[in-house]
Amino acid sequence: MLKIQLVGLITLVRKETTRIFRIWSQTILPPVITTTLYFLVFGNFIGNRIGELDGVSYMQFIVPGLIMMGILVNSFMNVVSTVFSAKFMRQIEEVLVSPMANSVILLGYASGGIIRGCIVGVAIAIISLLFEPLQIQHPVLVAVTIILTATLFSLLGFLNALFARKFDDITIIPTFVLTPLTYLGGVFYSISLLPDFWKKVSLFNPILYLINLFRYGFLGISDVPIARSLIGLLVLTIAVWFIVLSLLKKGKGLRN
Amino acid sequence: MLAIEIENLKKTYKGGLNALKGINLTVPDGGFFGLLGPNGAGKSTTIGIICSLIQKTSGTCNIFGHNIDTELEEAKRHLGVVPQEFNFNIFEKCIQTVINQAGYYGVPAHIAEKRANQLFKDLGLWEKRNTIAHALSGGMKRRLMIARALVHQPRLLILDEPTAGVDISLRRHMWEFLEQQNRNGLTIILTTHYLEEAEQLCKNIAIIDKGNIIENDSTPELLKKLKSETVCLTPETPLPNNFQLDGFKSRIASDGDLEVELSSDISITELLATLNALGIVVSRMSNKANRLEELFLRLVEGPSNA
């Protein structure tokens, strides 16, 4: 049975990865182009006038946040779209009738999101080198943050796909939740610049902790406590894993 | 060993629909089993529960002795499923669809490819193995789903309306293929609207209606329960539209044939003698419909048709 699960997982991961590269103009190219424009407009044109922020150039300041934005949005979008499409077209039945365990199915689909998130993250990092040298002060923390964030948002994408009934339902979270929270999560600014009230409000934004964790890994600067952010990310990822697994076992959104 | 053992299986959907009201069903290993019923009778729900695509409300279901509540993965290893609707990735090559499915059952790609190639040859799809699935005709898509369901060499194949929309010649080719698979030891459960198909292929048939199994017997025994059949007689001289044959339930069909319902206690000789006595010469005689179809209609449409 272990061999079945392993071969099944490899098959699903290979299928998802093939899909990412088959439709690369939809999965990889758009975030790379968008982020390049951010670098050009905010980092280069406007950033040169802003000067330094927390002791680093504005361009260096926004690079970690933009990489993080690419990772979380693309991990989420990959899983929510592939799982919902498979559900809508009933292709997911191929997997559901097979002896693959629910945990393996979840891991297989999430792997697609993690891989796409990492590809986009690396691509954005490479593009940023055209504008500014990239320094990484804590490479292990950067790697752990990338993996955990991509995993968390892949799982959240799966969760969204379970509840979605129509294609509109898979765009609501990215458009009305992820994007605003990311923009207000300190990608382009430090919350130390905000008035007290908005600073306190910002602390309720979970994306703020991810961006600062990532920024600390690169630049060694953060607006929030690092250990607490890392533990929070880990706990949240594990919690979402078990929530989605439990819903899968109950058949929510897929069986019936 | 039983391939399928279902006890008191119930399913109530969220809206309150009682799709299954406690059915009991067994399918022997190596059997060719037909599950018939009108639309909405509970066939697809039963199959969905066996395949774990639908959550049951209560009852038990064992697949080759493995309970789907406690040994689901082990139970599903033995299953191959051909659903009613196309459910493969239409943007993938046919060969990839089959290889992927094998992978989900633990068959490595290099073994799956050899098996897939053989299945494509057996099912007449060899030329299409590298074609993108959406370019296939309806009949080819059905065969692709059969190849996909067999690539991991299951012990039980479930076919939900496998020949819907398939032309007669291709249907007969598929029947031969399935009969051969059954002779090789594969247990097959078939749902179909083509009752001729069930009559020809199935060794045992269960009829389900409104969530209950109303008949479950061997095909020959089931057909014995048909107490009468309708024969169509073509008279040499046309008969008036209001013609009634005394002592028989009869009518004149739109094509001018005389349709007579013949109960089991009346012989054809008696019928022909009656017609002869009336001076009616019959040039041709045939059965109106296949026998199972008649029985099916009587069972699901109630005693008024019996």
A59-103: pLDDT as tens digits? 888 899 999 999 999 999 999 999 999 999 899 999 999 999 999
Into which CATH architecture does domain B228-305 fall?
Answer: 2-Layer Sandwich (3.30)
Tokens 């009468």 belong to which residue? B228
Q: What is the pLDDT of residue B305?
A: 43
The HSE-up count of residue B200 (CA atoms within 13 Å, CB side) is: 13
Q: What is the pLDDT of residue B1?
A: 82
Q: Test B100 with A91 for CB contact under 8 angstroms.
A: no
Cα distance from B184 to chain A (closest Cα, Å)?
A: 23
Nearest alpha carbon to residue B80 among B152, B161, B15: B152
Contact B201, B192 (CB under 8 A): no
A42 or B66, which is more confident = B66
Q: What is the pLDDT of residue A241?
A: 97
Using pLDDT thresholds of 50, 70 and 90, give the confidence band for residue B6: very high
Average pLDDT estimate for A26-53: 85
What does the DSSP assignment read for A40-99?
IIIIIIIHHHH-EETTEEHHHHHHHHHHHHHHHHHHHHHHHHHHHHHHHTTTHHHHHTSS
Cα distance from B75 to chain A (closest Cα, Å)?
A: 8
Question: What is the CATH code for B2-224?
Answer: 3.40.50.300
**Res. B114: pLDDT tops 60:** yes
The HSE-up count of residue B227 (CA atoms within 13 Å, CB side) is: 7
Token representation of residue B51 = 């395949």
* A62 shares contact with chain B (CB less than 8 Å): no
Name the residue among A12, A94, A97 with its Cβ closest to that of B52.
A97
User: Which H or E run contains B79?
Assistant: strand B79-82
Q: Test B100 with A11 for CB contact under 8 angstroms.
A: yes
Mean pLDDT is lowest, of A4-18, A58-72, B209-223, for B209-223
Name the residue among A8, A255, A256 with its Cβ closest to that of B104.
A8
Provide CB contacts within 8 A for B267, sequence distance 6+.
none
Provide CB contacts within 8 A for B208, sequence distance 6+.
B23, B35, B36, B37, B41, B42, B43, B46, B214
Cα distance from B300 to chain A (closest Cα, Å)?
A: 26
Average pLDDT estimate for B54-78: 93
Average pLDDT estimate for B277-295: 76
User: To probe the interface with B, which of A5, A18, A98 has the most B CB atoms within 10 Å?
Assistant: A98
Residue type at B33 in one-letter notation: F
Q: What is the pLDDT of residue A248?
A: 93
B127 or B162, which is more confident = B127
Q: Counting Cβ atoms within 10 Å, is residue A219 exposed (0-12), middle (13-18) or buried (19+)?
A: buried
What does the DSSP assignment read for A187-204?
SSS-GGGS-HHHHHHHTT
Token representation of residue A148 = 């955990």
Using pLDDT thresholds of 50, 70 and 90, give the confidence band for residue B294: low
Using pLDDT thresholds of 50, 70 and 90, give the confidence band for residue A122: very high
Residue B223 CA to residue B228 CA, distance in Å, equals 10
**Res. B306: pLDDT tops 60:** no
User: Which residues, listed in sequence order, are joined to residue B188 by a DSSP beta bridge?
Assistant: B32, B157
Task: For residue range B7-42, list pLDDT tens digits in order.
Answer: 999 999 988 889 999 999 999 999 999 998 888 889
Q: What is the pLDDT of residue B290?
A: 55
Cα distance from A158 to chain B (closest Cα, Å)?
A: 18
- Parallel, antiparallel, or unpaired for β B282-287 and B228-235? antiparallel
Residue A119 CA to residue A75 CA, distance in Å, equals 10
User: To probe the interface with B, which of A94, A96, A104 has the most B CB atoms within 10 Å?
Assistant: A94
Residue type at A75 in one-letter notation: S
State what percent of residues in chain B have pLDDT above 90. Answer: 43
Q: What is the pLDDT of residue B304?
A: 47
Q: What is the pLDDT of residue A148?
A: 95
The per-residue pLDDT of chain B, averaged, comes to 87
Using pLDDT thresholds of 50, 70 and 90, give the confidence band for residue B289: low
Residue type at A8 in one-letter notation: G
Using pLDDT thresholds of 50, 70 and 90, give the confidence band for residue A230: very high
**Res. A132: pLDDT tops 70:** yes
Average pLDDT estimate for A132-158: 93
DSSP state of B126: G
User: A 117-156 residues with CB below 8 A of B?
Assistant: none
Contact B155, B66 (CB under 8 A): no
User: To probe the interface with B, which of A18, A97, A102, A254 has the most B CB atoms within 10 Å?
Assistant: A97
- The sheet that has B18-28: what strands, in order across it? B18-28, B2-12, B58-63, B66-67
A235 or B267, which is more confident = A235
Q: Test B55 with A251 for CB contact under 8 angstroms.
A: yes
- Parallel, antiparallel, or unpaired for β B249-252 and B2-12? unpaired
Q: Sketch the domain layout of chain B as residue ranges.
A: 2-224, 228-305
Q: Sketch the domain layout of chain A as residue ranges.
A: 2-250
